Structure 1
Amino acid sequence: MELREFSDGYGVLVAGWARDAHEVALLCGRVEYPFPEELTGSWRKVADDIRSYLLFDGDQAVGYGEVWLDDEEDEAELARIIVDPGVRGKGIGLELVRGLLGPALAAGYPEVFLRVRPENAVAIRTYQRVGFVDVPQALMDEWNAAQPVAYRWMRFAGE
C-alpha cells in the first residue's frame, strides 16, 4: 500500500465510493445522492492547510483522506476518510488512517484529532485500533456547539 498526493483526475472515482445519501453525508456533510456534481469536478480546493491523499494498492486507488493543518489551534485533523466499497472489510481503512497519520504527525503539531458520526461504528473501531481515543465529553460538547451534527471527537494517543 502506498499513500500518494491526490490528483484531480480521481474525483469522480472517489465520489462514486459513497453508495447512498448517508455515505455522502458521512464524507462531506451534504445529504445528497448521488454525490453533488459541483463537488466532483473540483473534488478539493487547493489550500495550504488541506492536504488530500489517495491510498493505492498497486495501481488501484482504494482509499481517500485529508489532513487539515490548523496553525491557529496548533493541531492537525484527519478528515473525509472513505474506502472503496469493493475492498471494505479488508483492513484498508486501518492502512489509510495509519498512512494519513504520517503527514499529520510530520507537520509537527502536538495533537491530531478527527471527528466521526457516532453511528459509524466500523470507522470508530478502526480509529480506536490505530490509537485514537475520545476527547473528554465537555470538550466534545464545546466543539459540537458550532457543528451541524453532534460528532464523536477523537484524538490520537499513539498505538
Structure 2
Amino acid sequence: MDLLPFDTGHATTVASWPVSAAEVVMWCGLRDFPVAGSTVAAWQHETDVSARMLVEGEQLVGYGELWLDAEEDEVELARIIVAPGARGRGLGRVLVRGLLAEARRSGLSEVFMRVHPDNAGALRCYRGAGFGPVDAESAEAWNAGQPVDYVWLRHT
C-alpha cells in the first residue's frame, strides 16, 4: 500500500467514486452529481492544497487532501474518499493515517477535519484514527457560514 502525490490523470476515476448526490455532498460539499473529472483536477491548483492517492498494487483505492494553513499553524484533512469496490476493508483508516503522517511532516502543529453530520461511516473511521470532537464553542464559530453544521474533529 502506497500513499503517493495525486496524479491528475486519475481525476475522472476519483470523480466517479461517489455513487449518489447525497454521497457527493458528504464527500466534498458539492451539489452536482455526478462530479466532473475537471472539478477534481481543478482542486489540485488551489493554494495550499496537497492531494494524495492511496494505491494498492497498481490499483487506485483512495484519495484525500491536506489543506495547509501556515498562518493558523494547522492542517485540515479533506475530501477523503475510498473507491466503492474497496470499501469495508479498513482502507479509509489506512488513508487517514497516511495523511496524518504527511500532516505531521509539514511541521504545522494542529490537524483538524470536518465531517458531514450524516456521514456515520466516516465519523467511525476518523474516531478510530485518533480524532476527537473540538469544543462546542470552536465548532459553532467554525460552522458560521457553512452549508451545514459540520462535526469538527481534532487529532488528539
Q: TM-score, normalised by structure 2?
A: 0.95
Kindly indicate whether the alpha-carbon contact (under 8 Å) linking 1:6 and 1:53 is maintained by their aligned counterparts in 2. Answer: yes
1:44 is displaced (CA, Å) by: 2.2
Q: Tell me how many residue pairs correspond in the alignment.
A: 156
| Counterpart mapping for 1:62-141 below 5 A | 62-141=61-140
Say what the alpha-carbon RMSD is for the aligned residues.
1.3
Contact 2:15 2:37 in 1 (8 A): no
Shift of 1:76: 0.4
Q: For residue 34 of structure 1, report the CA deviation from its aligned partner.
A: 1.2
Aligned residue number for residue 54 of structure 1: 53
How far apart, CA to CA, are the structure 2 residues paired with 1:37 and 1:48? Answer: 19
Q: Deviations over 1:49-91 (max 9, x none)?
A: 1100000001100000000100121100100000001010100
In structure 1, what residue type is equivalent to 2:134?
V
Runs of 4+ in 1 over 4 A off after TM superposition: none
Asked whether the equivalents of residues 11 and 43 of structure 1 are also in contact (C-alpha less than 8 Å), the reply is no
**Aligned counterpart, 1:21:** 21
Kept in 2: contact 1:3–1:56 (CA 8 A): yes
Any conservation in 1 of the 2:115–2:150 contact (CA below 8 Å)?
Answer: yes
Structure 1: runs of 5 or more not aligned: none
Q: Unpaired runs of 5+ in structure 2?
A: none
Q: Determine the C-alpha separation between the residues in 2 that align with 1:154 and 1:115.
A: 6
Taking only the aligned residue pairs, the percentage that are identical comes to 47
Whole-Å separation in 1 of the counterparts to 2:21 and 2:37 = 13
Does structure 1 retain, via aligned residues, the 8 Å contact 2:132–2:155? yes
Confirm or deny: 8 A CA contact 1:56 1:62 kept in the other structure.
yes
The CA deviation at 1:102 is 1.2
- Once the two structures are TM-superposed, the CA of residue 21 in structure 1 deviates from its matched residue by 0.5
CA distance in 1, matches of 2:45, 2:66: 13
Which has the higher mean CA deviation after the structures are superposed, 22-31 or 70-79? 22-31
Give 1:79's aligned amino acid: A
